[in-house]
Amino acid sequence: MIDSTETRTELIKNIHGNLHRIHRILHRHMASKMHGLPVTPAQMGVLRMVRLKPGVTVSEMARLGMMTKSNISVMVDRLCREGLLEKRPDGADQRLLRLYLAAGGREILDRIGARHLAATQAALTGLTGEQLEQVAASLELLLNTLKENLAAGSDE
């Protein structure tokens, strides 16, 4: 039981440090699994955003803080040329272009997803089923708390 503000602060510092280290370790490991794929991590982020929000616009991605509108626009043009994304006019406003995954983009995200799942399974091999359940429940609690407290910046 947390009995003081000082103890709570120390626990929060510990959580923050561990999350940072976990992110760094996983990011480095996942990046090593990306060899041979025709997209950069930033391009992968754009493809994932379009998968999560079909019909998203370049402006909406920029508002979500992904990167500047001009950088996203250049990246989207390249991904469209490579057959990974499609631009389609908005039904109500033909000047507005909405983004959708092309078959090639779905295929790349599926390949990346399979690689990430295999890497995550390998990384968590030492945990028992009970420990995996505890980690999953704790992460779910943390994610829900973050969504609730930081809703304005949420970008699942």
Q: Residue 129 belongs to what domain range?
A: 39-149
What is the tens place of the pLDDT at every residue in 76-86? 999 999 999 99
CATH code, domain carrying 49: 1.10.10.10
Q: Give the pLDDT confidence of 25-82 residue by residue, as tens digits.
A: 888 887 777 777 888 888 988 999 999 999 999 999 888 876 888 999 999 999 999 9
Looking at the structure of the chain, the number of domains it has is 2
pTM over 0.75: no
- In a domain, residue 155? The reply is no
Please give the Cα distance from 86 to 84 (Å, whole number).
7
Q: Is residue 27 part of a domain?
A: yes
Q: What's the CA angle centered on 134, arms 129 and 137, to 5 degrees?
A: 120
Q: Clarify whether residues 65 and 134 are in a common domain.
A: yes
